[in-house]
Amino acid sequence: MLTESEILRYSRHLLLEDVGEIGQQKLKNAKVLIIGMGGLGSPAAMYLAAAGVGTLVIADFDQLEVSNLQRQIGYQTADTGSDKVKLMKQRLNSINPEIIVRCINRKMDAEQLSLELMMVNLVLDCTDNMHSRHLINAACVQAKASLIVGAAMRFEGQLIFFDHNQSDAACYHCLFPKSEEQVLNCSNSGVIGPVVGTIGTMQALEAIKYILGLPSGIKNRLKLFDGKTLDWQTFTVTKDPNCSVCGQKK
């Protein structure tokens, strides 16, 4: 049951036919793992906290740098040098003191990922490198965990949802079979802040829809965002039967 303070806090949700009190209770009971507290993870975590997702597990191993502030809106200049997850926990609890926030302040390996995935309903990959994405993807395939992946660079963004609860679901390795580090990234190519925020916000929206049981428009569909034209392109991603991660011949 929702408390009186929760009914007031989430009153705009309760007005929605697709949410209501039952939906809000689903959000309250949900546990979401967000990996990466940078430009994607910051807005995603803040929107999920504000929405009343009951437990957020936030993971990162970096300290805040001045160069992060151009796009990582969850932090302030005075925060530089501090651990991102500790700063974000404070921020999320200040937004919504009625939720639980747990920090993982180190780089997770496959073993810890496997353990964490047993305790959550959904994973948001908000990392910024291919190695981490492939590691997270493999763990989610193994655990049959649902995964929403976001990425952004320059004026472009990417968004896709892999529901590994479904036997016909593709995986990140099906889409990008080569795990080598990309030559281009935010550090050497730059990124415009609002594009990262757009993708992170969309990850939060898809997470909320998934928890509520609403249909997704990005399951096995790669959405590409052009920040210059505001256009979206959509590509269907099919399961590769020969995929070494999720295929029959793995």
| Alpha-carbon distances, residue 15 vs 9, 25, 157 (angstroms) | 12, 14, 32
Taking the C-alpha atoms of residue 79 and residue 147, their distance in angstroms, rounded to an integer, is: 30
186 included as an active-site residue: yes
Task: Report whether 47 contacts 53 (CB < 8 A).
Answer: no
Cβ atoms < 10 Å from Cβ of 183: 7
Q: Which is nearest to 94 in space by CA: 46, 32, 37? A: 46
Q: Please name the residue that has the structure tokens 């999320």.
A: 92
What are the structure tokens assigned to 183, written together? 């030559």
Answer yes or no: are the C-beta atoms of 173 and 165 closer than 8 Å.
no
The catalytic residue among 174, 186, 243, 246 is 186
DSSP state of 83: B
Q: Say if residues 3 and 161 touch (Cβ distance below 8 Å).
A: no
Q: Which residues participate in catalysis according to the annotation?
A: 186
